[in-house]
Structure 1
């Protein structure tokens, strides 16, 4: 949804397609009748809504961390127990997800080295690992978990560096910010589902889009200026990029 919304500034004559895409995406989320897609869509909307505060995101991040830390200190239950209390639809399995996080923390000695064969012995229904972050730990151990967290952190960092690099081009700023909002939406989805099959492909695609845009906007100029291609009269990388992007952004 954030990527669709960011295309609003790319082709003025085709904005009706953006509206149609957002309506279709919203209907798909509603049709799932599930809390995770609803909260994921809400996270995407929040990510887009924070665009006016893009220069204050460091303050926003630390405010969120401070708020969660304060809640953890004053609540009787751990702060991740909030997952069990929040539900967008009836019949939510938030308590199962809370127990999964609880067991993941308290059974650190079981999975930290190389993961664990099964989590079924953690409790009733715990064989269903409905948390993509926890899945990295139970299938690959602590190293796998840390690398995955670093990958997501790098995606956020690259998205931030990209919109700063193109701050004078509103369309590209919105595209970079939209990709960052997509990663944030994935982060929310991680708390309620573990990806498999095409879900992993979509995640990899979005991370690749962030990295590709970062590479073209933040790394390409210096590379192109020093490359033999630029000195031999071959097309500049920006010209090649423009030729690739124009069909995409014009919805043709």
Structure 2
């Protein structure tokens, strides 16, 4: 139970205890912009600087690692609380917690508690509290900044701008085998090479995550296109930079995620039969499990899109997790590193959540996806007669499905967790109160449930703290 296997440098923070002056200045500039820009514009510096400054840059304060994003959280919450104190128009109204918020808080509370119980040492507790601070700080700050479709539009444009910087640096890595951000610290100066291919990563913690950022941006660019009035330049640039990031990362997971997004869009004509599609998919998996020589999840072992990937490792992660259910179901386990070669590297987030925090945490993590899809489905049913609005909502569902594919292969252990939290906030802002109950606009006004004005739930004052329990993974896949 107490056996711990895996690199020591990945425990209790796993980042350098220094930050380059350039990053500190960038953080201060971003903080000032967040403080003094109007709420509608503050999402730009938060996302752009929060993503471009590597997560590995940190300053130690009283024994705690403070990455640059944690300072940005301080600036953001100061601005948010000050705005609420002044009771600015439209910013003092609260509509309570959304079901996604509740699942998020519950997940983080469980992972925080289990982390402290599982490793009752001050360094581990401090790290768990730091993760809780980061998760709750980013998530509810984004909930405050991204409230409506205009907020979504600005946040997606900010993601496109980030991709421009990333794509340029990743191309230079391919030509020079030098990562510009490596000169400033926090990332490798020379990117990894596998099977003769350079794996560009820019300012991300790993090349896989860099590629997955591009895969996530692709369906978001489709959403920009569905809005019609959006600048075509952002769409074109976003698509081009996304493809560059996917290809130069030389990783299978981003390609799988992109394929998942394309598959999700392919089901658009069958949107009214998705219940049958889902049950058909489940039936197919059961049938395959019965007729295959190995378990159905062993199919992962045979996926190799770029050469040299670790499909077998991913298969073993799931297989060993299932075999050792009794070891982790209650509170998680520290012994997973002894289950086989490299089993400490929980690249699969579902497996990582289970092994780190137990069955309840896994259920709550899956509930985030379930509630996101449910909110999108309910909102789409409300706009049954509005094909354009339905497609907008469908694209957001494709973005969520892309994250589902990504988390089966890699963990956002770096600053890219901002993107995951942002997607959850986008779902809430996009669906509003329509996502809380299935309603048809064709219903008579006398029905017990009436469609409301699209009014997303905002962050209530005094929201609790939480942690998202992401596990760091450094394996070359």
Q: How high is the TM-score relative to the length of structure 2? A: 0.45
Alignment pair present for 1:205 and 2:422: yes
Alignment pair present for 1:11 and 2:194: no
Using the TM superposition, name which of 113-122 and 208-217 deviates more: 208-217
Aligned with 2:287 (options 50, 70, 87): 70
Equivalence for 1:154:
371
Aligned residues: 226
State the shift of 1:15 in Å: 3.2
Alignment pair present for 1:140 and 2:341: no
Alignment pair present for 1:193 and 2:420: no
Equivalence for 2:248:
31
CA contact (8 A) 2:378 2:434 kept: no
SS in 2 for 1:167: coil
Alignment pair present for 1:84 and 2:301: yes
State the shift of 1:8 in Å: 1.3
State the shift of 1:21 in Å: 1.4
Structure 1: stretches of 5+ with no match in the other structure: 223-235, 242-252
For residues 15 and 9 of structure 1, what CA distance do their matches in structure 2 show? Answer: 11
For residues 354 and 232 of structure 2, what CA distance do their matches in structure 1 show? Answer: 43
Using the TM superposition, name which of 24-33 and 91-100 deviates more: 24-33
Using the TM superposition, name which of 145-154 and 95-104 deviates more: 145-154
Alignment pair present for 1:60 and 2:60: no
CA contact (8 A) 2:224 2:230 kept: no
For residues 436 and 337 of structure 2, what CA distance do their matches in structure 1 show? Answer: 46
For residues 453 and 230 of structure 2, what CA distance do their matches in structure 1 show? Answer: 28
For residues 49 and 79 of structure 1, what CA distance do their matches in structure 2 show? Answer: 24
Q: Which has the higher helix share?
A: 1
For residues 141 and 86 of structure 1, what CA distance do their matches in structure 2 show? Answer: 28
For residues 166 and 52 of structure 1, what CA distance do their matches in structure 2 show? Answer: 16
SS in 2 for 1:198: coil
Deviations 1:63-107 (A, max 9, x none): 111111111100001000000001111001000010111110000
Question: Structure 2 vs 1, CA of residues 57 and 113 (structure 1 numbering), >3 Å: closer, same or farther?
Answer: same
State the shift of 1:168 in Å: 3.3
For residues 171 and 15 of structure 1, what CA distance do their matches in structure 2 show? Answer: 18
Superposed counterparts of 1:97-116, under 5 Å: 97-116=314-333
Deviations 1:222-250 (A, max 9, x none): 9xxxxxxxxxxxxx965x88xxxxxxxxx
Q: Which of these two proteins has the greater Rg computed from alpha carbons?
A: 2
Equivalence for 2:398:
181
Structure 2: stretches of 5+ with no match in the other structure: 1-217, 440-451, 457-477
For residues 410 and 430 of structure 2, what CA distance do their matches in structure 1 show? Answer: 27
For residues 391 and 436 of structure 2, what CA distance do their matches in structure 1 show? Answer: 19
SS in 2 for 1:116: coil
CA contact (8 A) 1:39 1:188 kept: yes
State the shift of 1:151 in Å: 1.7
Question: Structure 2 vs 1, CA of residues 146 and 41 (structure 1 numbering), >3 Å: closer, same or farther?
Answer: same
State the shift of 1:219 in Å: 5.6
For residues 203 and 31 of structure 1, what CA distance do their matches in structure 2 show? Answer: 22
CA contact (8 A) 2:376 2:431 kept: yes
For residues 436 and 405 of structure 2, what CA distance do their matches in structure 1 show? Answer: 29
State the shift of 1:161 in Å: 1.2
CA contact (8 A) 2:264 2:401 kept: yes
Superposed counterparts of 1:215-234, under 5 Å: 215-218=432-435
